Structure 1
Amino acid sequence: MIRFRKGRFADLVDRQLALFEADEASLLLEARSAEDAWKRAGRDEAEEAFGDWQLIVDAVGERLLDLREAYAATLDDDAGDSYRQAFNRGAGSRFRDFTELLR
């Protein structure tokens, strides 16, 4: 059996993202609803529905970015960079549609 070593911040990031998911449950539900509305929209409504969904995607992304940067600011530069990488990996796995602002 091959064991992959979890990074220094993996457990922390997992806990942060679980709390984020619980705290932002209504916003994440709103995002899913907006995405469904966009996918169901007819040709005339699709552009507006996509815009509505994108606004929510940006809001979730900004909150993820704020969470990441608030913690990273407490670390030295090298540790902050490692933490950001771990956070980006975790958020990318868990919230793929919302991570554009983390890049």
Structure 2
Amino acid sequence: MDTTQLLKGVLDLAVLAVLREEDGYGYDILRRLREAGLEEIGDASVYGTLRRLFAAGLLTTYVVPSETGPHRKYYSLNAAGRDQLTRSGKLWRSFATTMDTLLDDRGLAA
């Protein structure tokens, strides 16, 4: 199954979840998502999502200078982002439970 469409629907939630515990810069966030199991996620998708979440007021940014390369823009969850993570997480869990029930009822569960 192509996971591209599934990822589009949950990428905001995944990025917010990754930033819940620790701030991160673009490539770091991408790496953490891939390490969590989202190997197929594209660079442009993550950077676009970060820009969109920032524009929506869910993230704040700050720049950290680097002596060995370009400065890095770090992203951080703000109060609105934490609220959105909570709401979206509840919605996801409800949806996942519904899908599990549908699959279990039809003998399709793993």
> TM-score, length-normalised on structure 1?
0.34
Bigger helix share: 1
Q: TM-score of the superposition, structure 2-length normalised? A: 0.33
